[in-house]
Structures are given as structure tokens and as C-alpha cells.
Amino acid sequence: MERIILGIDPGTTIMGYGVIIIREKKLELVTMGVLKLHKLSEHEDKLKRIFERTVALIEEYHPDELAIEAPFFGKNVQSMLKLGRAQGVAMAAALSRTVPIFEYSPRKIKQSITGRGSASKEQVALMLQSIMKFEQPPEYLDATDGLAAAVCHYFQKNPGKPEKKFTGWQAFLSENPDRKVG
């Protein structure tokens, strides 16, 4: 059985996305990229473009699920508000096409990919490059952030359920043989 997951890293300057397909428990990269919104001056135009691009991705790749990064709490309230709107518009696009949505905190995504919730964007990109076997990291790390949301969702055995605790690396690896790299 195949499953397609669209991952989105929302943003009002750059929105990152990644699409993966799971075939027989094997992960494959379909595409990743960014939507650049620098040239649009009006916030409403950016939101419209985010909605349109998300719908276009859904119509092109027919994902079974959408994994999206949740806005993080920061000091700049205006930035948080704009980011929340960008996330909401991407979610509305998925809802308009009846695609189930799964939301993950930035820390959860980083931890899922690298094992460390405080990992840098570069560390996430390098780990994804190893897991997904792509040659060059993209020009914008927002693309790997969108991909990371999709891969994080794949790694979740039971989205929305409490995480299982492990006593060490050996216990983790014995429960997750598909997470071994190399």
C-alpha cells in the first residue's frame, strides 16, 4: 500500500514544502521546494498565493495527509500572527480538498529527524540528505524544513498518542529498525 505525505513549513517570506511516498515501509522523496513570496508587498496577496500553491501541490501529488510545522512562540507578536495566518491558510487549503492535517512543533520535527530538538536547520538538512539520499541540499533550507515535517509524520507510529520512552539507543534501534542509516 502506498501513502503520500505533503509536508509544509509555513512562512510569509518563503514557504517550504516536501512530498514523500511510502511504498512497502520504504521512504522515497518525490519533490521538495519553496514558494518565494519576497516580491509580494501585501500580506493578503501572500496568503492567497500560499493557499493557491498548497492546493496546486495537493492536486498534483494527491497526498493522503498533510504534516505542517506549528508556529513557534517568539518575542515578536506581529511575526507570530503572520506565521499563524500562513499556517492557517495552508491548513484551509488542505481542508478544502479533504486532506487530513497533522501539526508538529519545530522541536518535535527536529527531534524526530536528528534526535535533538535543538538541532539547526543545517543539521536537519544533512540528516534528511542521508535518510532520503538526495545529492545536494536545496538552495533554501525552508525546503528541507517542509520535507522534515513530512518525514517526521512518517516516523510517528501513532500520531497524537504519547511518545514511547526508551531506555537507551539499543532499545530505540531495536524498536525502530527502519530508522538506521547506513
Q: State the catalytic residues.
A: 9, 69, 142
Grade residue 177 by pLDDT with cuts at 50, 70 and 90. Answer: low
pLDDT in tens, 96-155: 999 999 999 999 999 999 999 999 999 999 999 999 999 888 999 999 999 999 999 999
Cell numbers that stand for 144 in this block: 528541507
pTM over 0.75: yes
pLDDT at 158 (0 to 100) = 45
Helix, strand or coil for residue 165? coil
CA distance linking residue 150 with residue 168, whole number of Å: 25
Task: Band the pLDDT of 168: cuts 50, 70, 90.
Answer: low
Band (pLDDT 50/70/90 cuts) for residue 165 is low
Q: Is 9 helix (H, G, I), strand (E, B) or coil?
A: strand
pLDDT at 89: 97
Q: What CA–CA distance (Å, rounded) separates 179 from 176?
A: 6
pLDDT at 137: 85
Per DSSP, the residues of 108-123 read HHHHHHHS-TT--HHH
Edge-first strand listing for the sheet containing 65-69: 26-36, 14-23, 2-9, 65-69, 101-104
Give the bridge partners for 104, in sequence order: 69
Question: At residue 164, does pLDDT exceed 70?
Answer: no
> Between these two residues, 19 and 1, which has the higher pLDDT value?
19
Q: Say if residue 35's pLDDT is above 70.
A: yes
- Band (65; pLDDT cuts 50, 70, 90): very high
**Per-residue pLDDT at 17 exceeds 60:** yes
Mean residue pLDDT of the chain comes to 89
Residue 41 has pLDDT above 90, yes or no: yes
More confident residue, 179 or 121: 121
| Residue 77, pLDDT score | 85
Give the separation between CA 152 and CA 35, rounded to whole angstroms. Answer: 21
**How big, in percent rounded to 5, are the helix, strand and coil portions of the chain?**
45, 20, 30
